[in-house]
Structure 1
Amino acid sequence: MGPDKNQPEAISGSMWRLAASAFVVLAAEPCFVLVDTAVVGHLGAVPLGALGIGGTLVSLVAMLGVFLDYGTTGRAARWFGAGRRGDAIDEGIAATFLALVLGIVAVGIGELFAGPLIRLLAGGAGPTARAAVTWFRVAAVGVPGMLVVLAGNGWMRGVQETRRPVQIVVLANVISAVASPVLVYPLRFGLVGSAIANLGAQVIGGVLFLLVLRTERRPWSPRMNVVKAQLRTGGDLFIRAVGFQVAALVAVSVAARMGTARLGAFQVGLECWVLTTLLLDSFAIAAQSLVGAALGRDDTREARRLAWQVARYGAYAGIALAIVLIPGWWLVPLAFTSSSPVRQQIQVLWPWLVALQPVAGVVFALDGVLVGAGDVGFLRTITLIATIGVYVPLTLIALGYGWGLGGIWAGLAASIVIRFLGMMLRTARGTWAVPGTRDSV
């Protein structure tokens, strides 16, 4: 049975413990990607742009499994809060089964359509596109491992296990971060060395999460009713992920058509944005687990209190990140590239990155609350409005009117504001706080 969390002090302590664990787990892979980006960036603008396009496409393929992380956390947390840990573990087994099946399918689709998709993103069949195809074909093989890691993080957060996910994810990414520069330079694999390091991180992480699941001593065959329930939850989260990915694909495609320097700068800015959003997501991850557990034991009052508490923490974290990022206007371009035009373009987008942090902190925190409560239908709708309805049109307008990278980031800022307004209103209404485990069956 889950621990008694009825005292606000105990819940606050659990939130900080879960958030700290999530912070490390979420930061590990983006930190590896940043190291990888810096390593590749010194190969030149073309390899850096290829990494941006190839990495975006890997993310697109992996979006099939987005519900394996967030959806599984909320569902497992409800069982855990109700004192039924075995049912929570069964959620992890079902999610892992889906991760392997979807991962194999995703690799096949990705390898089959890699060339046409990358040429579409790059705006042609030039050297950047050819390099991106080479990188993608190697890195995409790691997608099944990537999805198993998502599933593993999902169920382990649901049962409030914080130590082992940190150990696994950090170990896998440290090994790959050390391997990347060695493979790229002394061993002379070049850009392909980056892809091999990427693949290694996903395989190591996936295998280790499978070994942890085996120690739970539950039947390995997934319960089909749990699989079907996860797929129902996953439908809305999948559509939501499509909205994010379409917006990302349009943005990288527009940046590619703005020239090699702007594409390279966009890649650096995108990786920095991903890192900061995932760091802010640490409170959201804690909220998923604690809100789900509170609703599992029928404590709707506590779930609502947690929602506003985590929103405050998200705002404070966003302000702190913005302050930390301010000197990056000068330091980050020096660290990531030796190309002067790319450095100048990084400085164009940097003020947008800084200014977005406080609002994004609240958005991602409340996102975690609603995911933990299973209110994924609303999240699907507000995300599509913000991405397809706002971000994509503004990004295309930026290309047509020559607004440059500032125009792309203005579109991102507008989409974040739309999500902020929608989530604040939804949270205030409180209709998302549905008690019990019936939605987890």
Structure 2
Amino acid sequence: MAAADGFCAPDKQRNIPFLIFFNKARLVFKMDELGLEIAQIAIPAAMALTADPVASLVDTAFIGQIGPIELAAVGVSIALFNQVSRIAIFPLVSVTTSFVAEEDAVSKVSLEPQETDFSESSLTANGEAKELISQSDFGDVALKAESDGINVENSGPAKRQIPSASSALIIGAVLGLLQAIFLISLAKPLLKYMGVKSDSPMLAPAQRYLRLRSLGAPAVLLSLAMQGVFRGFKDTKTPLYATLAGDITNIIVDPIFMFIFRLGVSGAAIAHIISQYLISILLAWRLIQLVDFLPLSIKDLQLGRFLKNGFLLLMRVIAVTFCVTLAASIAARQGSTTMAAFQVCLQVWLATSLLADGLAVAGQAILASAFAKKDYNKATSIAARVLQLGFILGLLLCFMLGFGLQFAAKWFTNDVNVLHLIRIGIPFVALTQPVNALAFVFDGINFGASDFAYSAYSMVMVAVVSIAFVLSFNHGFVGIWVALTIYMSLRALAGFWRIGTGTGPWKFLRS
């Protein structure tokens, strides 16, 4: 297949898969067709990913005004809610993005017009060619309409037939309902498992908040499933606008319910529910305009394919979560000072990954489309470009955190002992940024190539080795961060190995 202009990779590099990482490195900052496509997807995606944490910080500030008990209670409830949600969200969104991008690419290829020779006889009286096709960003089937005798000028863009979009919404709705039932019915024992004892003053407010917030679980899962659909369409602006609308609403309504109506933590939960359903309604309203969900047969939905690959990514999420949770539990056993310093370093360490996630989303969406079209030249170019951008982003974050966190640490605590440990952790947090960025971008590349099995099994192996390192290091705070550094390095190495050796979906690099 002929490659698009600007996406051709040198044939000499095809025989050495490792060289893909240096493919056209001089063009890394060029705003060509590929550069613009990455920016248009990555920047809104990164902004949407950071919008929720910012809104949560504001939410936390409001709750903190009520009292320390309520703040701690809500903190435990949010941690529990997010942990349960993450198990379902990550596989659902990742699989949806890849499948929708593949189906959308195939549908567009089937609608591409055949080459036509516009001779002079085909020109109008004034010598101008009549425009036959008008194709919108979301795919227009005007060519077929023209052949069927339909007036193209008066017909709007046709809705897309994307079975994976319907599958994602069905699975998202079911998972959301199951999560709500699970958390509402088992709120008390789950909170006890999190360390909130029966005689703790945190139990009552934590239980109220968790049960109320769980009513919004269906909206959370549905909205994220729809975000996966939009990402598959390479549209990250619509989810950004919807997320901003919901988060701003949450920030406005929060103090009204909490202080004016005097509902306390219950008011905070209600405000969050309203914001999540608003996001879902906005995304659904836009999606209905783009996708024709019916008629579809059960066979078209390919639920088995969704569930199979979703289960693989579920294994991966559990492995990732277990590594970080184990490190946190070891830090907690070393005392409150060590745990406080670890929590600050960990949150900064993880928060910076949101920027790399924007690149990962761009890489996944564009790669899934390229693989569906068997456009391996573009697949090579996009993989190389996002990896190069990810490494440069990691270097920038390394310098920023290396110098900035020395001063910003005082924003989190005034405790001298905690600050001392944070400063010990800063080199690990800063120096691992290039490795972290590459690891997250590799995830997006693997998902874009639908290499879900390798992503799952390699992560399980990485987790087993990393857990052994975490358990074997008995050097306090430093030992924990050495183990986490090894963990992220192994994650990056797993992604590097798959592409660098030209195996799996990347075997074309050796041809």
On whether the aligned pair clears a TM of 0.5, the verdict is yes
1:16 is matched with which residue: 39, 42, 45?
Answer: 39
Task: Report the equivalent of 1:430.
Answer: 502
Task: Report the equivalent of 1:320.
Answer: 396
**Structure 1: unaligned runs, 5 residues or longer:** 436-441
User: Offset of 1:333 from its aligned partner?
Assistant: 4.1
Q: How does 1:212-361 map to 2 (within 5 A)?
A: 212-220=286-294, 223-225=297-299, 226-259=302-335, 263=339, 266-325=342-401, 326-334=403-411, 336=412, 347=423, 349-361=425-437
1:148 is matched with which residue: 191, 202, 222?
Answer: 222
Q: How does 1:15-414 map to 2 (within 5 A)?
A: 15-40=38-63, 49-62=72-85, 63-84=87-108, 89-122=162-195, 127=200, 130=203, 132-180=206-254, 189-220=263-294, 223-225=297-299, 226-259=302-335, 263=339, 266-325=342-401, 326-334=403-411, 336=412, 347=423, 349-390=425-466, 392-395=467-470, 401=474, 403-404=476-477, 406-414=478-486
Q: 1 CA distance for matches of 2:465 and 2:267?
A: 38
User: Offset of 1:203 from its aligned partner?
Assistant: 2.2
User: Offset of 1:98 from its aligned partner?
Assistant: 0.7
Asked if the contact 1:81–1:293 (Cα under 8 Å) also holds between the matched residues in 2, the reply is yes
Q: 2 CA distance for matches of 1:376 and 1:122?
A: 35
Asked if the contact 1:33–1:271 (Cα under 8 Å) also holds between the matched residues in 2, the reply is no
The farther-off stretch of 6-15 and 252-261 is 252-261
Over 3 Å counting, the alpha-carbon distance change for 1:89 and 1:393 in structure 2 is: same
Q: 1 CA distance for matches of 2:72 and 2:468?
A: 23
Asked if the contact 2:45–2:237 (Cα under 8 Å) also holds between the matched residues in 1, the reply is no
Q: TM-score, normalised by structure 2?
A: 0.74
Match of 1:218, SS?
Answer: coil
Instruction: Please tell me the residue identity of whatever aligns with 2:428.
Output: W
The Cα offsets for residues 320-368 of structure 1, whole Å up to 9 and x where unpaired, read as 223333323432542x567777666655544433232111111111110
Q: In proportion to residue count, which structure has more helix? A: 1
User: Offset of 1:308 from its aligned partner?
Assistant: 1.9
Asked if the contact 2:498–2:506 (Cα under 8 Å) also holds between the matched residues in 1, the reply is no
Q: 1 CA distance for matches of 2:374 and 2:281?
A: 36
The Cα offsets for residues 253-312 of structure 1, whole Å up to 9 and x where unpaired, read as 445555556555555544434421122111110001111111111112321232121111
Asked if the contact 1:121–1:249 (Cα under 8 Å) also holds between the matched residues in 2, the reply is no
The Cα offsets for residues 98-149 of structure 1, whole Å up to 9 and x where unpaired, read as 1011110111122233333333333855748625444433333322212112
Q: TM-score, normalised by structure 1?
A: 0.84
Asked if the contact 2:160–2:290 (Cα under 8 Å) also holds between the matched residues in 1, the reply is no
Q: 2 CA distance for matches of 1:397 and 1:118?
A: 30
Q: 2 CA distance for matches of 1:359 and 1:243?
A: 19
* 2:442 counterpart of 1:419: no
Match of 2:290, SS?
Answer: coil
Match of 1:122, SS?
Answer: coil
Q: Percent identity?
A: 25
Over 3 Å counting, the alpha-carbon distance change for 1:121 and 1:176 in structure 2 is: same
Asked if the contact 2:257–2:267 (Cα under 8 Å) also holds between the matched residues in 1, the reply is yes
Q: 2 CA distance for matches of 1:134 and 1:409?
A: 36
The Cα offsets for residues 41-67 of structure 1, whole Å up to 9 and x where unpaired, read as 676766555454333322222122322
Q: Please identify the structure whose Cα radius of gyration is greater.
A: 2
Q: 2 CA distance for matches of 1:207 and 1:312?
A: 37
The farther-off stretch of 406-415 and 284-293 is 406-415
Asked if the contact 1:294–1:300 (Cα under 8 Å) also holds between the matched residues in 2, the reply is yes
The Cα offsets for residues 413-441 of structure 1, whole Å up to 9 and x where unpaired, read as 22111111111111112334379xxxxxx
Q: 1 CA distance for matches of 2:354 and 2:90?
A: 14
Over 3 Å counting, the alpha-carbon distance change for 1:66 and 1:409 in structure 2 is: same
Instruction: Please tell me the residue identity of whatever aligns with 1:106.
Output: Q
Q: 2 CA distance for matches of 1:181 and 1:269?
A: 30
Asked if the contact 1:75–1:88 (Cα under 8 Å) also holds between the matched residues in 2, the reply is no
Q: 2 CA distance for matches of 1:50 and 1:60?
A: 16
Asked if the contact 1:28–1:169 (Cα under 8 Å) also holds between the matched residues in 2, the reply is yes
Over 3 Å counting, the alpha-carbon distance change for 1:297 and 1:420 in structure 2 is: same
Q: 1 CA distance for matches of 2:451 and 2:241?
A: 31
The farther-off stretch of 202-211 and 85-94 is 85-94
Over 3 Å counting, the alpha-carbon distance change for 1:44 and 1:91 in structure 2 is: same
Over 3 Å counting, the alpha-carbon distance change for 1:178 and 1:184 in structure 2 is: same
